[in-house]
A and B are shown apart, each in its own frame.
Chain A
Amino acid sequence: MNLSVIQENLARGLSVVSHAVSSRSTLPVLANVLLRTEDAGLKLTATNLEIGITYWVPGKIETDGAITVPARLLTDVVNSLPNERIDLELSGGDRLHLRCGRYETHLRGIDADEFPAIAAAGERPTTRVSQKVLKRALSEIAFAAASDEARPILTGVLTRLEGDRITLAAADNYRIAITTIPGLDAVEETSVVVPARSYAELARVLVDTDDPIEIILSAQKSQVLFHVEGVDLVSRLIEGQFPNYQQVLPTSHATRVELDREDLLKAVRLAAYIASASANIVKLQVAPEGAPQVTVAAAADVGDHQGVVDATVEGDGTTIAFNAKYLGDVLQNVDADRFVIELNGPLSPGVFRPADGRDYTHVVMPVRTAS
């Protein structure tokens, strides 16, 4: 193996694949990044067995070859080198020799054959979707997935392909976020559950362009592969049945509030300073129709707080308590100037949507408090 790449390109590639490096694994090779010459370029691959990321660095190949070296070390070294040409060469079979300007580094590696095989793109895509659209959808729903493994299925994002619609849903025990985005190809109905962590990595790779990302489901539906120019991301899928969320979505409401997202987020954050001293609970007091405001209140041993947010209110006044974290999450992550909140009294789920009417629904379960 003997090739040359530009420092900037190699550094970018390493920063993308390093997210898939396994920091704590019993397999030492998983802490390494695989470098392999392919298609007149350098292919970088890292995996933690849940996801694998492959990145193509443009380069000038003299001779082909492959090796794995510690990802962290290589990344640190490359990041510190000047933005010039780097010559990479295999030396003595298990060492990677880097030469860049006046710097020379040898890194001891592990044979490339020990690196697990990672699926590659090549098959026909199952469907495609605009990168920009998917990026926003992921940032608006993936945070709602469960972070603990008590119910593994909830650590994933339901991904349902149906005709030219793609529905994404993520939930933990107390909230659910659902959105539907357009796909570019019509497909037969199929559903998979993708780990939320994989989607978080995918969101990093996506850029704000209408260029499509290809989605390829493996034949046995055990893996999904995402491909954009220069990058592949493979993820395992979570087995099991995603809860039937349709039945928990409210179909009517007694109170409808419309307000400014930033205003409400500010009020919730302020109240959360007090709320976090006890159970992190903030109350929304919605004035009845005619008195257009919502009061955000919190009380704890350390003190109490309330703030008023202008709103338009239709229907009954009501008071409902939520965990401040869940309110903050939805208000912070959803891209909308104004929000609609639909309520049905203090013990029924609250529905949050962008006021622009696009297809996004976020349901948060309230907290029962002593009245």
Chain B
Amino acid sequence: MRTSPTILHVDLDAFFAAVEQRDRPELRGRPVIVGGDSRARGVVSTASYEARAFGVHSAMPLRTAAGLCPDGVFLPVDGAKYRRESRRVMEILGRYTPLVEQVSIDEAFLDVAGSEKLFGPPAEIARRLKAEVRDETGLTVSVGAATTKLVAKVASDLRKPDGLVVVAPGTEAAFLAPLAIRRLWGVGEQTRLILAEHGVRTIGDLAALPLDVLVRRLGAHGAALHDRARGIDPSLVTPETAAKSVSHEHTFDVDTADPEVIERTLLALAEGVAARLRAGGVRASTVQVKVRDSAFHTSTRQRTLPEPTDLADPIFRTALDLARPEVRGRRVRLLGVGAHGLGEPAQLDLFGEEDPRRHRAAEAQDAIRRKYGTHALTRARLLGDPLADPGGRDPLQPLEGRRVGRALPAGGPDDRGRAGRPPGAGGRTPAPDDDPPTP
């Protein structure tokens, strides 16, 4: 047990909207909604605090937001700009400790246990880094300081924007007890409903529930919640530099059940993912597909490949195989193809089965697209109707930062599943799809 609240959770306040308001003074004080055109499909990525006053929140369909906030300023997602700003903020955090675990584009955990002699107690460090971020980037962050990542995360969310909440060691359970159960990681809509049957509304209620009841209703997840309700969280701040995954998604303008459209879209997404893998010099060992239907029901399936790849064809074939049973009989709103288990640069085989000419062909494609633009070369099958655009997210841009799939806003503004992230989830905690996003 730590004797000092040395784990900080730093969260940028209404990040995308704040960047836009900083750069365009005329937007300050106005409701800004980043996500795309108000008539577009897709969802809100970030709403400014002014827009939140109208009830707009992230992951809400843009059209619903437009209904609630007709005078809102709707802006497209400028991923490159937000990534640049994110890097500046993360650089500032890195001045206080090398133990910075960036969880997404707008939040990070810091472990400052070794930094107290240099910079003072955690609360002082939090104040200093808040001031530095504000002075150097014009953005505000909210910070939670506690003995565990779990409590720090809850604390940072408590007094947004520009907040600082320090939870003293030993008071974690008491701090959590009065808070609504939804503030706890891993409590999504399904879990909340089950817990409600037992009269659980606050984290304190959950802590009072016997372990065996939780395990009976929720299995292993229940046991984890039993600990979390008391602020117990053994996970460490683990800085990682390598990207964890690459994924591309496409939201259809009109929901579709047409197998041909679905197949071609998967192919286009697979091409984009493969090009990003090659640009990053990595191969993926696992392919994942995500299917969301018109009822907003989302399912994901994944499969490990016999050998890691950075080529579109094996990714496409696997994705198609995985998607087929998921799309049958459903009208599809969104398709996603992801590549996980990114591995080191490829050691070429001496007696390998793989035909090296395929790689040369793919690399030639990459070279042509670098030189003449992303649309210079297209698969014949993808000619015609505008589909998911594999070049839309600049697939030739190398992987950068960390956890690309998580950190970058998904291609389409419709990135609800991605936004709903438990903190510290480097693939350790599955992201519950029903978690409310909080950019």
On A, residues with C-beta under 8 Å from B are 171-176, 243, 245, 248, 278-279, 281, 301, 321, 323, 347, 349, 363, 365-370
> Which residues from chain A contact B174 at a C-beta distance below 8 Å?
none
Of the candidates B281, B348, B350, B398, which one forms a contact with A171 in the assembled complex, judged by CB atoms under 8 Å apart? B350
Residue B208 lies at the interface, judged by CB distance under 8 Å to chain A: no
Most buried by A among B348, B352, B360: B348
In the complex, what residues of A have CB within 8 A of residue B348's CB?
174, 347, 349, 365-368
Cβ contact within 8 Å between B345 and A321: yes
Give the distance in Å from the alpha carbon of A158 to the alpha carbon of B407 in the complex: 51
Knowing that A245-B351, A323-B347, A365-B348 touch, tell me 14 more A-B residue pairs with CB under 8 angstroms: A173-B351, A174-B347, A175-B350, A245-B350, A347-B356, A347-B359, A349-B350, A365-B350, A368-B346, A368-B348, A368-B359, A370-B279, A370-B280, A370-B398
Interchain CA distance A211-B126 in the complex, whole Å: 78
A-B CB contact pairs (8 Å), 13 listed: A171-B350, A173-B351, A174-B347, A174-B348, A175-B350, A349-B350, A363-B350, A367-B347, A368-B281, A368-B345, A368-B348, A368-B359, A370-B279
Enumerate chain A residues within 8 angstroms of B279, measured Cβ to Cβ.
370
Given known contacts A370-B279, A370-B280, A248 and B350 CB-to-CB distance under 8 angstroms: yes
Q: CB-nearest residue of chain A relative to B346?
A: A368
Residue of A nearest to B310 (CB): A368
Which chain B residues lie closer than 8 Å to A365 at the CB level?
Answer: 347-350
Indicate whether B241 reaches chain A with its CB closer than 8 angstroms: yes
- Once bound together, how far apart are the Cα atoms of A3 and B345, in whole Å? 63
Closest CB of chain B to A215's CB: distance in Å?
27
Who on chain A is nearest to B399 by CB?
A370
B258, CB-defined interface residue at 8 Å: no
A349 to B347, CA, bound (A): 11
Instruction: Give bound CA distance, A174 to B360, whole Å.
Output: 19
Q: Is B344 an interface residue (CB 8 A)?
A: yes
Nearest CB on A from B78, distance (A): 26
B352 touches A173 (CB 8 A): yes
Choice from B281, B349, B356 contacting A370 with Cβ under 8 Å: B281
CA distance A173 to B351 in the complex (A): 6
> Per-residue 0/1 for B277-300: is the Cβ within 8 Å of any A Cβ (1 yes, 0 no)?
001110000000000000000000
Q: Are A281 and B350 in contact (CB under 8 A)?
A: no
Q: Least Cβ distance of B278 to chain A in Å?
A: 8
Contacting pair B345 A367 (CB below 8 A): yes
Given contacts A301-B241, A347-B356, contact A367 B351 (CB under 8 A): no
- Which residues between 322 and 377 of chain B lie within 8 Å of chain A, taking CB atoms? 344-352, 356, 359-360
Contacts of B241 in A (CB 8 A): 301
